[in-house]
Amino acid sequence: MIQLLLLTGFLGAGKTTLLNNILDGYQDQKIGIIVNEFGSVNVDGRLLHSQGIQMAELSNGSIFCACIKDKFVDSLIALSNTDIEYLFVEASGLADPSNMPQILQGIEHKTGNTYLLKGTVCIVDGEHFLELLDLLPALHRQVEYGDMIVINKADLIEEKTIDQIKETIKEINPDAEIGITSYCRLNIPEMLEHLSAKPRAWQETTNTYESRPNTFVLKAEEFVSCKNLKEFLEEISQHTYRIKGFSMTDQGPMEINAVREDVRIIPWREEITGSEIVLISAVGIRLLSLITSALEKNLKGKLHL
């Protein structure tokens, strides 16, 4: 059987970091990966060290939403016909995983008893969890359906905040095991050995086309000023849940990574052409006018929607 581990966690919590740590620990195993990106551009796929790994990239929605669930099902069926031993599924940061068992049951007539759902690991962003929990139903569901909840970024928060997060998690999901870490440093083989998916009453997912937040993609074919790009991102990030992507700047290729107002522009190890930056709005369609205004001020004529 193929052991399947589902990774959930809100935007920027550290799922891709965890997945890269998994790849480092499973170099001698035959593994598959499904990467789900909410935006139309799959940034996380580029961030994974995926040489020789069976990988499917699903963009522009949640794998649990009708908008791309069929593609998720097709990927599961296709990977069931390979010789992989483990399948790691990185759900989008806005995913509500409450219908995952039903999806697996629904494909059994095509895959047989191929998949063993080992469980769901939910990565919690220690910096932003308490702030965002009540604003986003999907984040609540991620915790509710997690078999193990990992509080990440512990190095950035105080002990009393960690205690508050643990108490909140226990109120939502008293049976979940809780781990605390930084940079998603986890002993995955040991965790998998002891992890088992708990039976739960299933619910309809909150992921619907109507509940999708607005996303925008900025592109450029030429160099942009790194200084002006930083000023633009710092101005606009407060109105977003997440910004990520890549940009070719006057200081070389850069990876863009912002969670709320925490903006990071990091030198990127590979050559890229132009810029492609995904912004997930926290203020609905109003972000469009805010982007336009900020571009006019900082990057006029350089980046375009």
Domain assignment present for 204? no
Convert the pLDDT of each residue in 199-255 to its tens digit.
877 677 787 767 778 889 999 988 899 999 999 999 999 999 999 999 999 999 999
Length of the chain in terms of residues written: 305
Convert the pLDDT of each residue in 179-188 to its tens digit.
999 999 988 8
Same domain, yes or no: 125 and 268:
no
Same domain, yes or no: 249 and 122:
no
Same domain, yes or no: 172 and 57:
yes
Same domain, yes or no: 159 and 76:
yes
Domain assignment present for 170? yes
Convert the pLDDT of each residue in 4-51 to its tens digit.
999 999 988 999 889 888 888 888 889 999 999 865 444 555 556 556
Domain assignment present for 199? no
Alpha-carbon separation of residue 303 from 44, 274, 292 (angstroms): 21, 10, 10
Domain assignment present for 273? yes
> How many domains would you assign to the chain?
2
Residues 271 and 69: their CA atoms lie apart, in Å, by: 33
Residues 162 and 89: their CA atoms lie apart, in Å, by: 27
Radius of gyration of the chain from its Cα atoms, rounded to whole angstroms: 19
Strand duo 54-59 + 262-267: pairing: unpaired
* Confidence class for position 168, pLDDT limits 50, 70, 90: very high
Among residues 194, 226, 245, the one where a domain terminates is: 194
Please give the average per-residue pLDDT across 74-100, as a whole number.
93
Tokens representing 219?
Answer: 């592109």
Residues 39 and 286: their CA atoms lie apart, in Å, by: 17
* Confidence class for position 52, pLDDT limits 50, 70, 90: low
pTM for this prediction: 0.84
Domain containing residue 279: 215-298
